[in-house]
Each structure stands twice: as C-alpha cells, then as structure tokens.
C-alpha cells in the first residue's frame, strides 16, 4: 500500500516539475520576444504613433457621444 502512495506522490511531483519547467520556458521566450521588440529601432516610433492614434480616437468618441446627448 505504501509503495502505491510513494509512486503516486512521485508521479505528482514529476508532473509539477514538468509544468514548472514549461512555464519557465514560456516566460523566458516571452522575455526574449519582448527584448527583441524593444531593441527594434521602429518600436518607439510605432508605439508613439499608436498612442497618438488611440488618443485621437478616444477624443473623437467623446465628441461624438457628447453631440448625441445634446
């Protein structure tokens, strides 16, 4: 009976270890991709342009919704 418990616990620990390794691999890959994006010389230009366009879009939405209320 105790050998079944030990084998079950070992299998549980093994699956937890594999899950942890997979999560760490995903996190490391995401960090590498983020660093690659941040090193891209066009990143800052596109980020600023996207922020500007989003602010302009939000401003247009506010104007449109305030004119509907009138």
Residue 11 sits in the same domain as residue 33: yes
Mind listing the pLDDT tens digit for each residue in 14-53? 999 999 999 999 999 999 998 888 888 776 665 565 665 6
Residue 34 sits in the same domain as residue 48: no
pLDDT at 63 over 60: no
**Structural domain that includes position 4:** 1-39
Residue 25 sits in the same domain as residue 50: no
- Measured between its terminal Cα atoms, the distance across the chain in Å is 77
Among candidates 48, 45, 68, which has minimal Cα distance to 56? 48
pLDDT at 60 over 70: no
Domain count, the chain: 2
Residue 35 sits in the same domain as residue 47: no
Residue 54 sits in the same domain as residue 68: yes
Residue 35 sits in the same domain as residue 54: no
> Which position has the token pair 């590498």?
32
DSSP structure class, residue 43: H
What is residue 12's predicted lDDT score, i.e. its pLDDT?
96
């Amino acid at each position: 009976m105790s050998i079944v418990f030990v084998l079950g616990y070992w299998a549980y620990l093994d699956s937890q270890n594999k899950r942890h390794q997979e999560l760490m691999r995903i996190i490391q890959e995401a960090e590498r991709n983020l660093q690659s994006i941040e090193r891209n010389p066009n990143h800052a230009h596109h980020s600023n342009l996207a922020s500007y366009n989003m602010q302009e879009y939000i401003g247009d939405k506010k104007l449109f919704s305030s004119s509907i209320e009138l």
